[in-house]
Amino acid sequence: MASRQRRPTIAQQAGHFADRFLVSDPKQFRLAKADPGDTWRLRSKEQAASLLQRGIERLSELQEQLYAQDRWSLLLVFQAMDAAGKDSTIKHVMSGVNPQGCQVHSFKQPSAEDLDHDFLWRTTCRLPERGRIGIFNRSYYEEVLVVRVHPELLMQQKLPSKLIPKDIWKERFESINDLELHLARNGTSIRKFFLHVSKDEQRKRFEARLDEPEKHWKFALGDVRERAHWDQYVRAYEDMIRNTSTPHAPWYVVPADHKWFMRLVVAAAVVDALEDLKLEWPKVDSAKRKEIATAREVLAGEDA
Ligand code: ATP
Ligand code: MG
């Protein structure tokens, strides 16, 4: 028995293992130092399966409490290069969550109506209500990523020209940090995930899409062409993470070359975020207790 206690299980070792992927020192952050193929101490999908299952079950319990308490909300932001696995991660991690307590929004190219507003407008309209988990599949961060890599997109935004400074990206980081601080102060907890896939692994996934007819619908020539801008995206992601990692809205840089590992890290980070809220079941006051006693009497009366 004693020797068993001395040898911690992989689950015990795991602890807050998502923390190792948290950007805690943004000024020192270098994307090149983060390994997209990292799997911590785990060697296989099978080894990770029970940990993931436990994470999903705990997430489901916490989400119920979040909903019942109806005070906090949780915003999860997902950003990644194409084929990193945003969709499947969201699907797996949220698989145990009551759909009524969770809202997923995907942000694609902005519409004419979106372009008639400031760059934070369309996502602000979709923020999670109290008690809910909101998931942004892409987000306002596209405004310092794709728009930075393709400056012609900025021109479509109809900004008055004298309001486009040389360092517009710095201003956008400030606006984003201000928004996230405001949200945090008003009860929205925020966690942001950059799913970090390598260029080689992305090529393999694109090739798989070409080889498998049932994946053809996912294939887009534009995604392959976008690889020509890979280095510019890397620089934009790095700058974004360095400038928008804050204690109340941290970034996780999640290794994404092994999908099973990526899911585990995200599930663990979401559980940590909800645990940090120290959620409580709503208190039952004396009026409610009276209601419950009356309901019992009414139901018992039906039998008589
Ligand atoms: P999937 O390919 O898995 O369906 P996706 O998120 O890549 O998901 P797409 O429709 O393929 O969806 O691509 C959406 C595109 O919209 C991306 O290339 C993204 O960069 C772009 N986009 C998102 N927000 C903006 C924005 N604010 N301005 C310009 N382009 C944007
Ligand atoms: Mg796409």
* Region 144-162 average pLDDT: 95
**253 φ, ψ to 5°?**
-100, 105
Please name the residues in contact with 304: beta carbons below 8 A apart, sequence gap of 6 or more.
Answer: none
Ligand 2 centre to CA of 137 (Å) is: 11
Q: Is 146 in the pocket of ligand 1 (CB under 6 A)?
A: yes
pTM of the predicted structure, to 2 decimals: 0.94
Ligand 2 centre to CA of 220 (Å) is: 7
Residue 219 is predicted with a pLDDT of: 85
Ligand 1 centre to CA of 286 (Å) is: 52
The answer to whether residue 212 scores a pLDDT higher than 60 is: yes
Residue 1 is predicted with a pLDDT of: 42
171-199 residue pLDDT tens: 999 999 999 999 999 999 999 999 999 99
Residue 292 is predicted with a pLDDT of: 93
Residue 43 is predicted with a pLDDT of: 87
Q: Is 108 in the pocket of ligand 1 (CB under 6 A)?
A: yes
Share of the chain above pLDDT 90, in %: 84
255-299 residue pLDDT tens: 999 999 999 999 999 999 999 999 999 988 899 899 999 999 999
Residue 14 is predicted with a pLDDT of: 66
Instruction: Please identify, by atom number, the ligand 1 atom nearest to the C-alpha of residue 114.
Output: 27
Residue 159, token pair as written in the block: 């900004």
Ligand 2 centre to CA of 222 (Å) is: 8
Q: Is 153 in the pocket of ligand 1 (CB under 6 A)?
A: yes
Task: State the pLDDT confidence band at 151, using cuts at 50, 70 and 90.
Answer: very high
Residue closest by Cα to atom 3 of ligand 1: 87
Q: Is 142 in the pocket of ligand 1 (CB under 6 A)?
A: yes
Average per-residue pLDDT in the chain? 93
Residues with CB in 5 Å of ion ligand 2: 82
**249 φ, ψ to 5°?**
-145, 70
Q: Is 107 in the pocket of ligand 1 (CB under 6 A)?
A: yes
97-130 residue pLDDT tens: 999 999 999 999 999 999 999 999 999 999 999 9
Closest ligand, as measured to the CA of 218: 1
59-98 residue pLDDT tens: 999 999 999 999 999 999 999 999 999 999 999 999 989 9
Residue 187 is predicted with a pLDDT of: 98
Closest ligand, as measured to the CA of 146: 1
Residue closest by Cα to atom 25 of ligand 1: 109
Task: State the pLDDT confidence band at 17, using cuts at 50, 70 and 90.
Answer: confident
Q: Is 259 in the pocket of ligand 1 (CB under 6 A)?
A: no
Share of the chain above pLDDT 70, in %: 95
Domain positions in the chain are: 11-301
Q: Mind giving me the DSSP string for the chain?
A: -HHHHHS--HHHHHTTGGGGGB---GGG--GGGS-TT--TT---HHHHHHHHHHHHHHHHHHHHHHHHH-S-EEEEEEEESTTS-HHHHHHHHTTTS-GGGEEEEE--S--HHHHTS-TTHHHHTTPPPTT-EEEEES-GGGGGTHHHH-HHHHHTT---GGG--TTHHHHHHHHHHHHHHHHHHTTEEEEEEEEE--HHHHHHHHHHHHH-GGGGGG--HHHHHGGGGHHHHHHHHHHHHHHH-BTTB-EEEEE-SSHHHHHHHHHHHHHHHHHHTT--PPP--HHHHHHHHHHHHHHHHHH-
Residue closest by Cα to atom 20 of ligand 1: 146
The CATH number assigned to the domain with range 11-301 reads 3.40.50.300
**Is 188:73 a contact under the CB 8 Å cutoff?**
yes
Q: Is 38 in the pocket of ligand 1 (CB under 6 A)?
A: no
